[in-house]
């Protein structure tokens, strides 16, 4: 498996307002790596720095020190053009699809934008738009409509379609399902998983929800106050956390189906595989 993202000893500080005020350090020496086609979750409570790490990878906040290598290229040294080219490799999906979609342009124009920038012909773009709508299961007439005409889940599908338009190797997903109801959340996660299986996309999946980490991610890094305190196999970390902070997070997480959880735990202890809810 090839490595698509490596973050080494990342430090990020925010400038604070006021004369003489010092920058506030929020990320202190984070290391992480994501392999092609896998999902690494970053979990932690609000304010622990998850979005800051995602934004540093995306070039949206400056890196104080350390490095972010995407497909082996250090993003710190990239020219404007280099950054534009990097957007073919790494894309993002954010929590609020309403905020991240331009309300004044149609879905077709939104989806065509990255393809135009990449220099695709009109015919290629038309083909691609059809393919994208099929992939995210939106009707073809969505192209002429505006984001406000869609539900939250459909808007997130539009954001996903835009993110995968150029078939990136990595998508930074920053709480992409947090604003959705539980059923819509499950459908969006299924879609992301399907796209990963078919297109080999890797996800850095930022969330505060341990149930999602357990079901959706292969590995997880637990972030506390800008530092990774525990990392490893997602199921192992969720089921047998070693760090006291992870234990607190697990203890605080709501258990949607305690019976199912007990059945699964018993099956794992007995060395069995995954057990179905009905079995």
Ligand X SMILES: Nc1ncnc2c1ncn2[C@@H]1O[C@H](COP(=O)(O)OP(=O)(O)OP(=O)(O)O)[C@@H](O)[C@H]1O
Residue with tokens 């995306």: 58
Shortest Cβ distance from residue 91 to ligand X (Å)?
A: 19
> Which member of 39, 51, 91, 185 binds ligand X (CB under 6 A)?
51
Stretch that binds ligand X, among 45-53, 134-142, 164-172, 239-247 (CB under 6 A): 45-53
Rounded to the nearest 5 degrees, what angle is found at the Cα of 118, between the Cα atoms of 115 and 119?
95
Shortest Cβ distance from residue 128 to ligand X (Å)?
A: 32
Shortest Cβ distance from residue 19 to ligand X (Å)?
A: 17
Rounded to the nearest 5 degrees, what angle is found at the Cα of 258, between the Cα atoms of 269 and 177?
105
Does 221 interact with ligand X (rule: CB under 6 A)? no
Does 131 interact with ligand X (rule: CB under 6 A)? no
Q: What are the angstrom distances between the C-alpha of 77 and each of 88, 192, 271?
A: 17, 31, 48
Number of residues that bind ligand X (CB under 6 A): 11
Half-sphere exposure of 175 (CA within 13 A, CB side): 19
Stretch that binds ligand X, among 1-9, 40-48, 104-112, 147-155 (CB under 6 A): 40-48
Shortest Cβ distance from residue 97 to ligand X (Å)?
A: 16
Does 222 interact with ligand X (rule: CB under 6 A)? no
Does 207 interact with ligand X (rule: CB under 6 A)? no
> Which member of 39, 52, 91, 185 binds ligand X (CB under 6 A)?
52
Stretch that binds ligand X, among 50-58, 113-121, 189-197, 243-251 (CB under 6 A): 50-58
To 10 degrees, what angle do helices 182-199 and 152-164 make? Answer: 20
Does 88 interact with ligand X (rule: CB under 6 A)? no
Q: What is the DSSP letter of 139?
A: -
Residue (50 or 128) nearer to ligand X, CB = 50
Half-sphere exposure of 79 (CA within 13 A, CB side): 2
Distance (Å, rounded) from C-alpha 134 to C-alpha 194?
A: 13
Residue with tokens 């060395």: 271
- Cα 248 off chain centre by: 23
- Within the chain, strands assigned E span 3-14, 24-35, 39-43, 65-70, 73-74, 90-93, 170-174, 202-207, 219-224, 227-233
> Which member of 5, 40, 41, 50 binds ligand X (CB under 6 A)?
50
Does 91 interact with ligand X (rule: CB under 6 A)? no
Residue (50 or 157) nearer to ligand X, CB = 50
Does 46 interact with ligand X (rule: CB under 6 A)? yes
Please list every residue from 3 through 32 that binds ligand X, using CB under 6 A: 14, 26
What is the binding site for ligand X (CB under 6 A)?
14, 26, 44, 46-52, 208
């Amino acid at each position: 498996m090839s490595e698509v993202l490596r973050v080494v000893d990342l430090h990020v500080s925010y400038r604070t307002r006021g004369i003489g005020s010092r920058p506030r350090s929020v990320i202190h020496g984070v290391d992480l790596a994501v392999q092609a086609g896998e999902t690494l979750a970053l979990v932690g409570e609000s304010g622990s720095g998850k979005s800051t790490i995602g934004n540093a990878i995306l070039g949206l906040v400056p890196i104080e020190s350390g490095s972010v290598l995407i497909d082996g290229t250090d993003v710190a040294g990239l020219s404007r053009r280099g950054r534009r080219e990097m957007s073919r490799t790494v894309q993002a999906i954010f929590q609020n699809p309403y905020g991240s979609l331009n309300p004044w342009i149609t879905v077709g124009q939104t989806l065509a934008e990255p393809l135009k920038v990449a220099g695709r012909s009109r015919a290629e773009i038309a083909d691609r738009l059809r393919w994208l709508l099929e992939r995210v299961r939106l009707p073809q007439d969505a192209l002429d409509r505006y984001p406000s005409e869609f539900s939250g889940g459909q808007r997130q599908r539009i954001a996903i379609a835009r993110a995968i338009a150029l078939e990136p190797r990595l998508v930074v997903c920053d709480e992409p399902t947090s604003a959705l109801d539980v059923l819509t959340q499950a459908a969006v996660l299924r879609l992301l998983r399907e796209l990963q299986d078919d297109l080999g996309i890797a996800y850095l999946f930022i969330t505060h929800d341990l149930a999602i980490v357990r079901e959706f991610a292969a590995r997880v890094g637990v972030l506390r106050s800008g530092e990774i305190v525990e990392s490893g196999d997602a199921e192992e970390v969720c089921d047998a956390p070693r760090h006291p902070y992870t234990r607190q997070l697990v203890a605080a997480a709501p258990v949607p189906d305690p019976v199912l959880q007990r059945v699964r735990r018993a099956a794992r202890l007995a060395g069995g595989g995954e057990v179905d809810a009905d079995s």
